[in-house]
Structure 1
């Protein structure tokens, strides 16, 4: 059974803006990027929708901090929707907000909704480097919904310096390499091949920040313009957030879209989706070889799309995320996992990437209709997950009415979480590790997450000068996961890790 037309949610308009002025003082601020993207999306839908919008969701901004974000944007647009919400941080939030807007439309609580995002990190960085004061809306002394680092990482993570996404995703990359029976060089080859394919997609996307194709070797091999960031990731394997971009999506009912004369081959239908999360403290996760939250949301997506997906967008901030997702979904390694170009090549307007991915998916489905396509977004560091199933025709009503929260499924699959013993000294084996590089491309510091003979978890800082310890961690020929070592507690109270 399908929903009645006045309760069937459809995407009818998309808009994207890429802003590249040579002079950062001429760059559009995030509010202006969103304004332009929304007007482009309205025009894409045939025009005349803005005055009737009853709901607007604004994705959290990082590059420029405002107060009263929703009211400022509404004033620029000259609209006054009944519902205006500025969201919290998360790479999965565009997917979530689109899903939630669709549910409100299905329930009769909304008729016309907008989701929008905008970032100008490139202009902000260039202005700072040049000592230029940007002629934008003054930043707020107390901005709305700022990132609070202590909400995302613990004091222990901060003391170890393993606190940014680029430091933490390698914990999964290095653990999965061993779990899948790969050598590091084989895992790099998989990453390089996959990322080369999405760079081809970015090269053909007129909205990409880096519309250039790269070979697998050029992606995984360190070079002066592709330095190591954190083992085994080079710059081209890491999300690029120094972009100026805006995006918007307009949703309404099938009935209103038909009334406006929009051809159904230009509409994209929302079929349903799911959300789940891992513990924020990565030391409190059961393991690093997969994510039970990712598996839960992708499992729900597969139940909605029983026959599988014609095309997919798998969040690609770091290679481990789409590689894990590909295995869960059972996708062939030759299948391109992005219709957008990926966060390294298309660009990463911070929390807004999946909104651009939605625009790209809409274009793809308009060009070549398909029953089911997947938008999978992720936030934090393998922390928050949201999958959304869309298609070129209406889906079953039951699918959209399924609960979007599948946290119980994730918890049912979660293994026992090891006790973290920060005072332990003695023998242990490597569970996983992260080595962070400096701007010259040399190892700077790192830490090992280990397991004691009793199965407890430890967290040992690596002495970079200790080549006996560091060498095996950086080997391309064999994974060091499972290797024996020794933990000691130093005078500063932190555990230290040494090989042997």
Structure 2
């Protein structure tokens, strides 16, 4: 027997609208989330109307169309995304919460509201998320567009955008305005640490991701159910063009998707009261949340302390080791977030347990901040099929900036708090690299990426000054340097950097 306040996940739901579906209509973020929530309610096996009315908190992930204050939603949107969904399913929660930006948010919210349930503050909570990137792309530039505007009003705890955790005026000015280039810097830093050539590392990335595509090909909720070979992933072609070094297109998160997901949590007492069968209950055995240093402060750009500590702490809380985990779903927007967990916990790319249940962000789909909610849904389903087994979800946000982990199982267990706040002090105490914002003189390339997605191919550099070893950022359109960065190996190359009046440092080959 467990405490009656113990939180359990009792329902999960997913929904995907593919552009090649015969009935594709370009759904809104609200419509996509609504379908997923309806599926989660039905998944409980209880009275859907009664369960919906019992939900006290609706907590949602912020979709890309409302992720910035600098632009409005192209097709319009709800003024209260959360309550728009709640109304459609017959719910009227006391609280509506909109989480800030970050792919870690799905697991973070599950842990947060599971803790509130365990504390007796609430009894039932729903986590939801969706992304309508396919719809936005389909109707871009067209005169005949749907209007997804809604005015529903009502209470909303809007936690803000939070993008200041991922970029600054300095980094954005030097080209760090998208995820591929940001992670390109990290993967190339890891390549430098391992001493691999460009070709060797690209092969390692392809060998990591090819098994992901095999899983996606069999997943009915996948946005791109196509199995890819290592050769397909590693070969640059017109269809697999370079996006930002070191990534061809098929190694990049697929964000133009229409997907939604939801997870319903409640106390054991509420589950019994509402008639949810016990075979539906999945317990959160372990959990942890950690935040990394800001990008340029990190002494070693090739590792992740936040993911290492979060995974280790979640396993400790669950009282298991990595070998006891039966399934994984590791955040996979790019190879780096998967690689660092594998590095720290001795997982191989061909681990027979697999590293994803969905198929990964490049193949299953990368629905913005809500991807890991699909990973949680798949893990809950897998745990029901494997009673007593353990499934681990690793959710990543920003530039490897925030990492949240959950360990799931059907085995009953009382809620156990984690030590995330105490452990965060370990990361806060790490040394920081001095940064020279306006850099002049001789230096070397520490890590780099190349933006093929800009009108002019541009090198993006994190370097070190010869004079004092301080770190700087620079961009380059120097023909010789960009050629080396595109077709050679510029790691450790000597460069000359000059600070411009516009606040941007520019580099040329020394």
2:183 to 169, 189, 196: 169
Distance 1:38 1:438 in 2: 36
Distance in 1, matches of 2:500 and 2:368, equals 37
2-side partners of 1:311 and 1:226: how far apart? 30
Aligned match of 2:69: none
* Aligned twin of 1:324: 340
Deviates more, 1:482-491 or 1:107-116: 482-491
Q: 1:62, CA displacement in angstroms?
A: 2.2
Are residues 1:197 and 2:199 paired?
no
Deviation by residue 1:145-172 (Cα, 9 ceiling, x = unmatched): 6757666422222222222111111111
CA distance change for structure 1 residues 37 and 492 in 2, over 3 Å: closer, same or farther? closer
Q: Deviations over 1:161-195 (max 9, x none)?
A: 22211111111100001112322222211210111
2:52 pairs with one of 50, 53, 61:
50
Matched, 1:435 2:450: yes
For residues 2 and 39 of structure 2, what CA distance do their matches in structure 1 show?
A: 29
Distance 2:464 2:229 in 1: 38
In structure 2, what is the Cα distance between the partners aligned to 1:153 and 1:219?
29
* Aligned twin of 1:310: 326
Matches within 5 A, 1:91-490: 91-138=103-150, 147=161, 152-258=166-272, 262-280=276-294, 282-305=295-318, 306-308=320-322, 309-335=325-351, 336-395=354-413, 397=415, 400-405=416-421, 406-412=423-429, 414=430, 416-438=431-453, 444-453=457-466, 454-466=468-480, 469-475=481-487, 480-490=490-500
Q: Which residue of 2 aligns with 1:11?
A: 9
Cα distance in 2 between the residues matched to 1:68 and 1:404: 31
Answer with 202-211 or 54-63: which moved more. Answer: 54-63
Q: Are 1:277 and 1:293, in contact at CA under 8 Å, matched by a contact in 2?
A: yes
1:416-468 CA distance string (max 9 Å, x none): 2222113332222221111110379xx710222111232211222222422xx
Tell me, yes or no, if the aligned pair for 1:24 and 1:123 is still in contact at 8 Å.
Answer: no
RMSD: 2.6
Report the TM-score, using the length of structure 1 for normalisation. 0.90
Number of aligned positions between the proteins: 486
1:139 CA displacement: 8.5
Query: Do the aligned residues in 1 keep the contact of 2:57 with 2:126 (CA within 8 Å)?
Result: yes
Q: Distance in 2 between matches of 1:418 and 1:452?
A: 12
Unaligned runs of 5+ in 1: none
CA shift in 2, pair 1:148/1:391, >3 Å: closer
Is this contact kept in 2: 1:273–1:388, CA < 8 A? yes
Instruction: Give per-residue Cα distances to partners, 1:301-338, cap 9 Å, x unaligned.
Output: 23234332221111001111100111112212312211
Distance 1:274 1:148, change over 3 A: closer
Task: Give the secondary-structure state (helix, strand or coil) at the position aligned to 1:343.
Answer: coil
State the shift of 1:355 in Å: 0.7
Check whether the contact 1:24–1:126 (CA below 8 A) recurs between aligned residues. Answer: no
- For residues 486 and 169 of structure 1, the distance between their equivalents in structure 2, rounded to whole angstroms, comes to 24
Relative to structure 1, is the Cα distance of residues 164 and 54 closer, same or farther in structure 2, using a 3 angstrom cutoff? same
Which sections of structure 2, spanning at least 5 residues, go unmatched? 66-72
Measured in 1, the distance between the counterparts of 2:151 and 2:335 equals 34
Instruction: State whether structure 2 residue 495 is matched by structure 1 residue 495.
Output: no
Aligned counterparts of 1:3 and 1:106: Cα–Cα separation in 2: 11
Q: Is the 8 A contact 1:89 1:145 kept in 2?
A: no
Question: Partners of 1:348 and 1:498 in 2: how far apart?
Answer: 36
In structure 2, the CA distance between the partners of 1:27 and 1:493, relative to structure 1 (3 Å rule), is closer
Going from structure 1 to structure 2, the CA distance change for 1:149 and 1:296 (only over 3 Å counts) comes to closer
Residue pair 1:120, 1:242 contacting (<8 A) in 2 also: yes
Q: Distance in 1 between matches of 2:502 and 2:18?
A: 47
Which range is displaced more, 203-212 or 332-341? 332-341
C-alpha spacing 1:32/1:330, structure 2 compared with 1 (3 Å): same
